[in-house]
Amino acid sequence: MIGEIFKRLMNFWSRSLFIEPFLVLALIIGFTIGVFNAHKEKERIYFLIYFLSGILLFIIGTILVISRLYPVKESIEIGEIDNTIFELIEFIAFYHFFRKCLRIRRIKQVLKLFLILLCTIISFFLIGLIFFPYLISNIGEYSLFTNVVEFFFLTVLCLAYFYELYSSVPEMNLFKRPSFLIVTSCFFYTALMIPFFMIASEMLHFISLVYYILTACHYLTFIILIFGITKAFLSKTPITI
């Protein structure tokens, strides 16, 4: 029994080229450092919740795969619901971060609009799962669509930050600004992966090896983001500076 579970675990991790366990470890380290460096700053606390939800997402996903407690469709539904909720938590954490970082009023209004749109899309998806019999393929495609929308919104916000940053005289060294580390790592995490999520469903069916390689790349960019946020946690100044 233990041998079979271990075999399933190794097979599952191999789909991300064994990057996933390192990603979970990075989340745990980031969360631990964040707990001791929260400084009662609201934006740090939102990122702590973000890290914790990421840890739970990957642990639950791994348990679902290796335990086989539920039929395939139910496991996929639970996994995609968890993933979608994680995406919402992720965007909410960055929403509060950018709301404090960005100065231009119109951009802040766009930020609020992005949150409303994403909440609407996610609500339709979750309500649909409850009341409509989605096919397994439809569940994955809608989840990927939500990913694309969220990452597009975050990419736009990163570009808005860079626009504001470079349109004024810098007050301090960029690499000493916690916000610059977070936004730069977030930009690579989101912008690079949008094309992948747009074709991921078809790729999984026709070129699965490339899909797994790009999944590993997605996890690597996530680790870079975690490193950027964790480094910002260690700063004595507010992370939105």
Q: Is residue 78 part of a domain?
A: yes
Residue type, 65: V
Sign for the CA dihedral angle at 28, 89, 226, 12 comes to positive
| CATH number of the domain bearing residue 51 | 1.20.1070
Q: What is the DSSP string of 188-222?
A: HHHHTTHHHHHHHHHHHHH-HHHHHHHHHHHHHHH
Calculate helix-pair angle for 208-233, 178-191, nearest 10 degrees. Answer: 170
Q: In this predicted structure, which of 106-115, 131-140, 157-166, 208-217 has the lowest mean pLDDT?
A: 131-140
Nearest to 191 by CA among 172, 218, 211, 171: 218
pLDDT at 20 over 80: yes
According to the model, what pLDDT value does residue 170 have?
Answer: 67
Print the domain residue range for 96: 2-233
What is the C-alpha separation between 229 and 189, in angstroms, rounded? 12
Work out the mean pLDDT of the chain and round it to a whole number: 91
What is the C-alpha separation between 181 and 199, in angstroms, rounded? 29
**Which residue matches tokens 């969360």?**
31
What is the C-alpha separation between 218 and 58, in angstroms, rounded? 14
Residue type, 87: E
DSSP 8-state class, residue 235? -
- Tell me the average pLDDT across 39-53: 95
According to the model, what pLDDT value does residue 208 have?
Answer: 83
In degrees, to the nearest 5, what angle opens at C-alpha 83 toward C-alphas 215 and 90?
95
Q: Is residue 203 part of a domain?
A: yes
Q: Is residue 238 part of a domain?
A: no
Q: Is residue 89 part of a domain?
A: yes
DSSP 8-state class, residue 168? S
Q: Percentage of the chain with pLDDT > 90?
A: 65
pLDDT in tens, 61-92: 898 888 877 777 788 788 888 999 999 999 99
Contact indicator for 79, 61 with CB cutoff of 8 Å: yes
**Which residue matches tokens 């041998």?**
3
Q: Percentage of the chain with pLDDT > 70?
A: 97
pLDDT at 146 over 80: yes
Q: Is residue 34 part of a domain?
A: yes
Q: Indicate left, alpha or beta for 240 from its phi (over 0: left) and psi (-120 to 50: alpha).
A: alpha
Nearest to 155 by CA among 121, 110, 124, 205: 110
pLDDT at 58 over 70: yes
pLDDT in tens, 173-212: 787 899 999 999 999 999 999 999 998 878 877 788 888 9
Locate all alpha helices (DSSP H) within 102-177, ordered by sequence: 105-131, 136-166
According to the model, what pLDDT value does residue 137 have?
Answer: 67
Residue 56's alpha-carbon distances to 15, 62, 85, 181, 202, in angstroms, are 19, 10, 11, 25, 28
Q: Is residue 239 part of a domain?
A: no
Q: Is residue 240 part of a domain?
A: no
Residue 202's alpha-carbon distances to 2, 147, 155, 194, in angstroms, are 34, 15, 24, 14
Q: How many domains does the chain have?
A: 1
In degrees, to the nearest 5, what angle opens at C-alpha 224 toward C-alphas 178 and 119?
80
Q: Is residue 160 part of a domain?
A: yes
Structure-model confidence comparison of residues 1 and 20, the more confident one? 20
pTM for the predicted model, two decimal places: 0.94
According to the model, what pLDDT value does residue 154 have?
Answer: 98
